[in-house]
Structure 1
Amino acid sequence: MIKKSWLPISVIAIMLFIWELSTRIFQIPDWILPAPTVIIQEALNNWPNYSHHIFSTIQLTILGLVMGIVVGLTVAVILHLLPKVREAVYPIMILSQNVPIIVLAPLLVIWFGFGMTPKLLIIILVCFFPIAVATIDGLRQTSPELIHYMKMTGATKQQIFRKLELPHALPAIFSGLKISATYSVMGAVISEWLGANQGIGVYMTLASSSFRTDRVFVAILFIMILCLFFFAIILICEKALIKWRKEG
């Protein structure tokens, strides 16, 4: 694991070094482009001022991601078990993704107000599509020969789904989950722009309006950290569950 990660870490270190060196050589003002050391210093010194924003975003992200996973998996299973419904609904699902979420957000506020509902809906809309599509594709790629064999042994449709199709689709499902895990943080930040009282999105908006570019980069830094955090959790679950499936 360490041998595989040294290359991207080295590239990131070189980029940060060039960034730091450029800001010093060209004397770029901090309000235009702060140096990495300035950003880290701001992040460390002002943790009490924005820690509650981060925890608020984490709570919103977890709730929205869980709901998005439930919706995505439910839609995928229904469309897989009902082929006629899948043929009718699947193109609509694809078309729905052509509508930018930033355009849809104001409509959700008009329809549902400034409470928690529109924020969760944004995260769900961002998360459910990768999960649903990956799950549908994974379920459909099950070997027809194995399905035929199970039918010959007298297995029911429910048994075929539970013991063959679903385990076979696990790698595809986790691929969708990893994408949604990173998208969920983005969805949470966008939803906080709708008028939340706290959150990384609120902190970023306040920092931008006051030309505190260093604080904007602090917000970006923690967004990246949260994305990696949720991605790592899904990766750990994937290794544990698929390993268990193989051992079983």
Structure 2
Amino acid sequence: MVLILVAATWDLVVHLAHVQDYIFPSVENVFRSLYKNWSSVLGSATWITFQEMLFGFLISIAVAVIIALSLHSSATLRGAIYPLLIGSQAVPIVVIGPILAIIFGYGITPKLIIVAISCFFPIVVNLVDGLASVDPDLIKVMRTLDGSRLATLFRVEVPSALPSFFSGLRIAAVYAPIGAVFGEYAGSQNGLGYVLIQATPQLNSDLVFAAVLLLTVMSILLFMLLSFLEKICCPWAGKGKK
């Protein structure tokens, strides 16, 4: 209902104010452009950007899990590396993109790296916090049962940290399309970011909005998929919530 209300207001303002399409297209023109350009431009571009989002996101998960487990296992590593991770987020992605394009070319590699850089930090932070917030009584029980450090980690700490881990994944899912577009801005020959670069100077606003719509839909679908996986992997996390 909210989306319908927003779309109706959007169209009403455009038609009553006689706004030109190249400035702000109507919803009808956006969907018409989506249909008209799907087979020629948007279909292949969406597939390219989707691959960059997905594989870059998976890389970020692997890197984030390794880093988080390392930081949790060693206070020395946490004190040495954690500030560096925070500092790394101060470096603008728009600066890193062209450098990676120079090093790796215009292929998919620099896009995957940029998506991974964009996504890994919230996963690391949430997983580290989740591992550190385990009920101390559970740790005491494992020690009483003579459980090893590895057994305590994988039988108690990791399961307890899963809700925090998935919270980080959902946050990172929002950044995945942003990283992919930034990577395509830095240098690409296809993808939705490339479509935006080509359509903006031509004042082809309906195509720009169609590309943005596709990016939004992919981000929402990835978010919903992660929420579904969370219910499967840790169904206890939702108990007690109204």
Alignment of 1:108-187 (within 5 A): 108-187=100-179
For structure 2, the residue ranges without an aligned partner over 5 or more in a row are none
Question: In percent, how many aligned pairs have the same letter?
Answer: 34
Alignment of 1:45-124 (within 5 A): 45-49=36-40, 50-124=42-116
Instruction: Give 1:187 shift.
Output: 0.8
Kindly tell me the number of residue pairs found equivalent between the two proteins: 238
Q: What code does the residue aligned with 1:25 have?
A: L
Counterpart check, 1:209 vs 2:201: yes
Q: What TM-score comes out, normalization by structure 1 length? A: 0.92
> Are the counterparts in 1 of residues 106 and 189 from structure 2 also a CA contact under 8 Å?
no
Q: What code does the residue aligned with 2:179 have?
A: G
SS in 2 for 1:131: helix
SS in 2 for 1:32: coil
Question: 2:27 maps to what in 1?
Answer: 36
Q: What TM-score comes out, normalization by structure 2 length? A: 0.94
Instruction: Give 1:245 shift.
Output: 9.1
Instruction: Give 1:28 shift.
Output: 0.4
> Are the counterparts in 2 of residues 167 and 245 from structure 1 also a CA contact under 8 Å?
no
> Are the counterparts in 1 of residues 94 and 186 from structure 2 also a CA contact under 8 Å?
no
Instruction: After the TM superposition, list the runs of 4 or more consecutive aligned residues in structure 1 that deviate by more than 6 angstroms.
Output: none
**Distance (whole Å) between structure 2 residues aligned to residue 126 and residue 173 of structure 1:** 16
For structure 1, the residue ranges without an aligned partner over 5 or more in a row are 1-9
Q: What code does the residue aligned with 1:159 have?
A: A
**Distance (whole Å) between structure 1 residues aligned to residue 70 and residue 87 of structure 2:** 19
Q: What code does the residue aligned with 1:104 have?
A: I
Match of 1:20 among 8, 11, 29: 11
RMSD: 1.7
Q: CA-to-partner distance for each residue in 1:65-98, whole Å, 9 max, x for gaps?
A: 1111100111101111111100111111111111
Question: 2:188 maps to what in 1?
Answer: 196
